Structure 1
Amino acid sequence: MSGNTSKPATHSLLAPAARAIFITAGCIAGALIFNYLLFRATGLPFVWTGIVSAVVVAAAIAAPLVALTALRERELAGLRLKLNRVSSTDHLTDCLDGAVFTALVDAFRAGASGKSGPNRGALLIIDVDHFRQVNARFGRSWGDEVLRVVSDVIRASVRRGDLVGRLGGEEFGIFLPGARRENAEDVAERVRGVIADTLFEPAGKHCPLTVSVGGIVFEDQLIFDDLVAAAEEQLLSAKNAGRNRTAMGAIQAKLPEQHPNQHIAS
């Protein structure tokens, strides 16, 4: 799974520095006013020694305040990052939430469309076989454990930069930017094979654990819904062929329909 890809806003980076400057300037101004009034009350001339002492005293006061502010900003930044991560991931599987997964896939593809060369990639949809039977036989807690096992295998099988999301229920998605057909098939078979070899024994009873994988590779600018529909067709083929299988296809963008009387200019 990819990490949270949100970037901090510029104003959030400048905020600690701005606060530090404001605190220091305020302390210096306060110290200057205090020194001026003190020298004026005593009748002594307000000379450079007064200015220097004001700056030194102000800096001594401001330093711990600046450090405390910076520490607090760091804590808040960590908390914001944690909250963003929690809100974008599925709490059970630690995969991307379905809506976030969709948005990130579209963002990747939109960025790739502005580059030279083919907009290549692959989308895999993984569905746990007979998941409802596991829930019915062993209970929901063991069904949740199945989802955790499957998600762990999936996330361990992809590259850094690939996206893994829980699309809903027992269905997961993998987006492989830049992948060719052979790359996508390798990932799909690796996930399927590792899960099939996993020993799963809820309540001490053996329970076969398998998945079916449908994948689609593309080299055109396509909307996410078209990719999902094509991958779902391949998934259905894998299910109909007996489950515990992978099925892979390819898709191209549809060319605009041409009127019979239209001619292509040479």
Structure 2
Amino acid sequence: MSLIFQERPLWVGLTVVALVSAVVAFPLLLTICLRNEAFREIQKQLRHALNHDPVTGTLSANAFATSVEHAMDRRRVPDGESPDGIMLVLRVGNLDEIGRRYGPQWADTLLQSLVRIVQSSVRYGDLVARLASDELGIYLPGATTENTREICERIRTQIGETTFAAGQERQISVALRLGGTRVEDQVNFQSLREAANRAALAEEEAGPLLFRELFS
């Protein structure tokens, strides 16, 4: 260093070295930062893919179950936030038949339409998930029976006003069941889901579209 800057003070040489180092290091640091940002974005996309159904965009069954279980666990903690509310299931009784008759893409389109109706009918903070190929789950934290009846009525009205069609205006007949159960009456997510399904299927002979107002 002294050979390069023989006629200059030491601080000048050190300043030049620092500037050169900064010029060399900045692109490298920028590249590292950009790569880290890209890596974080990939991680975010992977988490979203793991926690969401690819067809409907709703929560996956596992992510939904985990969220509801956490809420149920909080109720068991003294002075914890109460998760008391209601879980609903919306079942499409003839989804397989629709897929065979019109093609699987129309079964997917039907589910997507139902999800939009449900999401526009529930409250902010309510959770919607695809629990099975023909089953949607809806968790209404803190909801009362009266709240739930209002939500069910909004869903029922929108479905009644919607024409489901598959290509060339072929109208699809859809058999739906909606039932629910209170969270406080169940000990875990599986029992919660089973009770909601029992309510949805309890009076299947009543007609093609049934909305239960009484919960199991």
Q: What is the deviation of 1:118? A: 4.2
Q: Any conservation in 2 of the 1:124–1:188 contact (CA below 8 Å)? A: no
State the distance in 2 between where 1:54 and 1:113 align.
Answer: 63
> Which amino acid in structure 2 is aligned with residue 102 of structure 1?
A
CA apart distance, 1:130: 2.9
Aligned counterpart for 2:46 among listed residues 83, 88, 91: 83
| 2:13 aligned residue | 50
Structure 2 residue aligned with 1:175: 139
Amino acid in the other structure paired with 1:57 = V
Tell me by how many angstroms 1:231 deviates.
0.8
Q: Which residue of 2 aligns with 1:71?
A: 34
> Residues 60 and 220 of structure 1: is their aligned pair in 2 closer, same or farther, counting only changes over 3 Å?
farther
Residues 41-80 of structure 1: CA deviation (Å, up to 9, x unaligned): 7767872222232223222322232222222222221121
1:69 counterpart letter in structure 2:
I
- Deviation of 1:199 (Å): 0.9
- Could you tell me the TM-score, scaled by structure 2's length? 0.84
Check whether the contact 2:199–2:215 (CA below 8 A) recurs between aligned residues: no
Provide the secondary structure at the position in 1 that maps to 2:209: coil
The correspondence for 2:184, drawn from 219, 223, 235, is 219
Q: Distance in 2 between matches of 1:211 and 1:175?
A: 18
Cα distance change on mapping 1:221 and 1:143 into 2, 3 Å: closer
Of 101, 111, 120 in structure 2, the residue corresponding to residue 156 of structure 1 is: 120
| CA gap 1:111/1:40 in 2 versus in 1, 3 angstroms | farther
User: Would you say 1:97 and 2:80 are equivalent positions?
Assistant: no
- Higher RCO structure, 1 or 2 (CA under 8 Å, sep 6+): 2
Rounded to whole Å, the distance in 2 between the matches of 1:111 and 1:40 is 71
Distance in 2 (alpha carbons) for counterparts of 1:245 and 1:101: 24
Amino acid at match of 1:88: N
Residue 85 of structure 2 is matched in structure 1 by 121
Q: Partner residue of 1:59? A: 22
Q: Cα deviations across residues 113-163 of structure 1 (Å, max 9, x unaligned)?
A: 434464311100001143333234323332222122112222232233221
- State the match for 1:207 in structure 2: 172
**C-alpha distance in 2 between matches for 1:201 and 1:220:** 39
Unaligned runs of 5+ in 1: 1-37, 252-266
Q: Give the counterpart letter for 1:156 in structure 2.
A: S
CA contact (8 A) 2:65 2:189 kept: yes
Distance in 1 of aligned mates of 2:6 and 2:98: 90
For residue 142 of structure 1, what is the aligned residue in structure 2?
Answer: 106
The CA RMSD over aligned residues, in Å, is 2.6
Per the alignment, do residues 73 and 118 of structure 1 end up closer, same or farther by CA in structure 2, a change over 3 Å counting? closer
TM-score, normalisation: structure 1: 0.70
Q: Which amino acid aligns with 1:39?
A: S
TM-superposed CA distance for 1:91, in Å, is 1.4
Distance 1:121 1:68, change over 3 A: same
Shift of residue 184, structure 1, vs aligned partner: 1.9
- Secondary structure of the equivalent of 2:2? helix
User: Rg bigger for which structure?
Assistant: 1
